[in-house]
């Protein structure tokens, strides 16, 4: 009964998706509310997922020459205000520090909402000649944005992220770096998190404050809403000019650098939950799962059972598989449900009868397939199942995305399609901001991106009917 009750506490996705999300976050012990309004506690199970995501990204960043560093937490008001578009974009959601102890500060300091200006300030001091370029820096930190409504992982006043900031001698190099980092995000999302994405460029309305181009990877959640998973910006030389980040070229000329920034946040965990989770809880793709296999001993008080469980754990560990034994005094039924709610990809059951037959029972979390495996070939079987599950999860998410992507030739089609079957709608656009504003006001639909892979669905803008210039992915978004 215990395990049945545990599962019943999760609202079904079809009944109430928002409540389902909240239930899963709570039951899988990913976050907790804190006494600081709008701020979340990331619990060990949630943080372990973030650490896995961090590892996969950080390894790839470093392979392209990026180094990590740490910038200050606070930004003087005058520094934040140096680039006008940037400050306009962030001013409404900045938190300020006005006192140091009991003394009122001469200049207010904001808690970083992002650190472009700090990196610019630093680069203006260390970049002198073409020999100092490129500079490829990143920091893993948290930032604060004073959001009005908050939800665990998706929107909180403080969130964890990485922000990479690079400066280059030429515009071409900066554009190349912007796209290189976008491709790393897409790679980690698709191949590690099993989340298919649409790669594209943001419209001017949706781009980052101060950027000349913002690229994005967009994913579709199970309720048909889009989620922007990561962005990569090309700043051109706008920030460089505002902050005097200049260098002496080989030709002995003073030139402004060309700059990029790129980031991904703990929102990604929200995406992972909403793409893969089911009515029993979280389902974590094997490659990103902090624990890939949970061993549940059956009748663990019987002689030899726990020893066998630990021996199997050691064997799997040696093969590089992340594994734990649930040797708590709970019933096996409770442990099954607990492993399910936490999304552990594989369950391995081992009891006296199994030991007698030299076998173990393996159960996949995603489709609950049960496999009886001989102990002699256990590691190979586990590796095979983890690999298959990773692929199946990606394939299912991709099939869902495709099924929920439709084309529209006019406004009625677009809105009807999103109301009937929420997802992405591909439709043509004239390039005019008014048309985007109209769509947003009319029904909360936003442009998600101008995809890299363009197609001509029709020749006129889906909103105004004038000549179209681009095909756009539209949707409602988190």
**Candidate list 463, 472, 475, 476; residue touching Zn ion; CB under 5 A:** 463
CA angle 110, 116, 121 (to 5 degrees): 85
Asked if 450 interacts with Zn ion (CB under 5 A), we say no
**Candidate list 464, 470, 477, 478; residue touching Zn ion; CB under 5 A:** 464
Asked if 275 interacts with Zn ion (CB under 5 A), we say no
Taking the complex as a whole, the smallest distance from the CB of residue 453 to Zn ion amounts, in Å, to: 21
Taking the complex as a whole, the smallest distance from the CB of residue 316 to Zn ion amounts, in Å, to: 57
What's the CA gap between 433 and 203, in Å, rounded? Answer: 9
For Zn ion, which stretch binds (CB under 5 A), given 63-71, 81-89, 314-322, 457-465? Answer: 457-465
Q: Are 243 and 82 in contact (CB under 8 A)?
A: yes
Taking the complex as a whole, the smallest distance from the CB of residue 451 to Zn ion amounts, in Å, to: 18
Number of H helices, E strands in the chain: 15, 23
What SS3 state is found at 300?
A: coil
Count Cβ atoms within 10 A of the Cβ of residue 370 and give its class: 0-12 exposed, 13-18 middle, 19 or more buried: exposed
| Helices 378-403 and 305-318: angle between axes, nearest 10 degrees | 70
Taking the complex as a whole, the smallest distance from the CB of residue 202 to Zn ion amounts, in Å, to: 17
Q: What's the distance, CA 63 to chain centroid?
A: 20
Choose among 461, 451, 22: nearest CA to 203. 451
**For Zn ion, the closer CB: 191 or 460:** 460
**For Zn ion, the closer CB: 154 or 468:** 468
Count Cβ atoms within 10 A of the Cβ of residue 41 and give its class: 0-12 exposed, 13-18 middle, 19 or more buried: middle
**For Zn ion, the closer CB: 288 or 430:** 430
**For Zn ion, the closer CB: 298 or 432:** 432
**For Zn ion, the closer CB: 257 or 414:** 414
**How many CB atoms lie under 10 A from the CB of residue 369?**
13
**Candidate list 194, 316, 461, 472; residue touching Zn ion; CB under 5 A:** 461
Interactions with Zn ion, residue window 420-449 (CB under 5 A): 430, 432, 435
Residues paired with 100 in a beta bridge: 103
**For Zn ion, the closer CB: 389 or 463:** 463
Asked if 363 interacts with Zn ion (CB under 5 A), we say no
**For Zn ion, the closer CB: 293 or 461:** 461
Number of residues lying near Zn ion (CB under 5 A): 6
Peptide bond preceding 134: is omega within 30 degrees of 0, i.e. cis?
yes
Cα distances from 83 to residues 125, 193, 230, 240, 345, in angstroms, run 17, 36, 23, 10, 47
What SS3 state is found at 326?
A: coil
Taking the complex as a whole, the smallest distance from the CB of residue 317 to Zn ion amounts, in Å, to: 58
**For Zn ion, the closer CB: 213 or 439:** 439
Site residues, Zn ion (CB under 5 A): 430, 432, 435, 461, 463-464
């Amino acid at each position: 009964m215990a395990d049945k009750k545990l599962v019943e506490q999760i609202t079904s996705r079809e009944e109430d998706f928002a409540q389902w999300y909240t239930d899963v976050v709570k039951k899988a012990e990913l976050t907790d509310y804190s006494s600081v309004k709008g701020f979340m506690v990331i619990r060990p199970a949630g943080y372990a997922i973030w650490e896995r995501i961090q590892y996969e990204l950080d390894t790839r960043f470093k392979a392209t020459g990026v180094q990590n560093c740490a910038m200050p937490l606070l930004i003087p008001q005058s520094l934040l205000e140096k680039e006008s578009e940037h400050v306009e974009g962030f001013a409404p959601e900045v938190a300020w520090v006005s006192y140091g102890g009991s003394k009122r500060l001469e200049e207010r300091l904001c808690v970083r909402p992002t650190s472009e200006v700090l990196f610019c300030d630093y680069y203006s001091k260390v970049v002198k000649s073409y020999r100092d370029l490129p500079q490829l820096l990143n920091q893993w930190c948290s930032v604060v944005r004073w959001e009005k409504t908050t939800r665990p992982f998706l929107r909180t006043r403080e969130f964890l992220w990485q922000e990479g900031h690079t400066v280059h001698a030429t515009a071409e190099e900066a554009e190349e770096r912007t796209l290189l980092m976008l491709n790393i995000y897409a790679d980690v999302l698709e191949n590690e998190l099993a989340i298919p994405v649409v790669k594209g460029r943001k419209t001017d309305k949706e781009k980052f404050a101060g950027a000349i181009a913002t690229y994005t990877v967009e994913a579709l959640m199970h309720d048909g809403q889009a989620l922007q998973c990561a962005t990569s910006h090309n700043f051109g030389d706008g920030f460089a000019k505002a902050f005097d980040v200049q260098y002496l070229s080989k030709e002995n000329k003073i030139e402004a650098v060309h700059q990029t920034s790129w980031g991904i946040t703990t929102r990604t965990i929200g995406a992972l939950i909403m793409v893969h989770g089911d009515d029993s809880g979280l389902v974590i793709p094997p490659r990103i799962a902090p624990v890939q296999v949970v061993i549940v001993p059956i009748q663990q008080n019987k002689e030899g059972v726990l020893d066998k469980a630990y021996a199997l754990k050691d064997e799997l560990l040696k093969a590089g598989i992340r594994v734990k034994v649930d040797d708590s005094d709970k019933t096996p039924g409770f442990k099954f449900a607990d492993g399910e709610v936490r999304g552990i990809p594989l369950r391995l059951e081992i009891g006296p009868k199994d030991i007698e037959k030299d076998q173990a029972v393996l159960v996949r979390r995603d489709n609950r397939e049960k496999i009886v495996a001989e102990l002699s070939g256990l590691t190979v079987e586990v590796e095979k199942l983890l690999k298959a599950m990773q692929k199946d999860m990606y394939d299912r998410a991709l099939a869902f995305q495709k099924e929920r992507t439709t084309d529209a030739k006019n406004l009625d089609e677009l809105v009807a399609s999103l109301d009937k079957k929420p997802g992405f709608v591909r439709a043509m656009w004239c390039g005019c901001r008014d048309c985007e504003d109209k769509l947003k006001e009319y029904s909360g639909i936003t442009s998600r991106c101008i995809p890299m892979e363009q197609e001509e669905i029709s020749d006129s803008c889906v909103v105004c009917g004038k000549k179209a210039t681009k095909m756009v992915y539209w949707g409602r978004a988190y």
